[in-house]
Structure 1
């Protein structure tokens, strides 16, 4: 589900940095799981500057197209 919400000029760099902190993926399934985990953190759990370093509240998260 890569790219579902992680969109922007820095998304490629963000993914590269996050992947370098994880163990090497030995197959595509492992890589896809790592990408899903990174994107979930980026979209749902990381502190956001506009929210006073808090994550988006669950009720404000938009899912779907």
Structure 2
């Protein structure tokens, strides 16, 4: 089967001791999940531009065999 590329965000890369990971088809979809996670699990109801930029930088493409 061919590999499929996803965008991966791992919360621990954002310097949290947290095992949250999300794979999404697009960087924006991964960012939406990351924002929701930060709000619900880390109490970050509003994310600063700096934090948003940092999260986006940590979303990386990964190939998954399907």
Q: Which bracket does the TM-score occupy, shorter chain normalised?
A: 0.3 to 0.5
**TM-score normalised by the chain length of structure 1:** 0.39
Higher alpha-carbon Rg: 1
**TM-score normalised by the chain length of structure 2:** 0.38
**Higher helix proportion (structure 1 or 2):** 1
Higher relative contact order (CA 8 A, sep 6+): 2
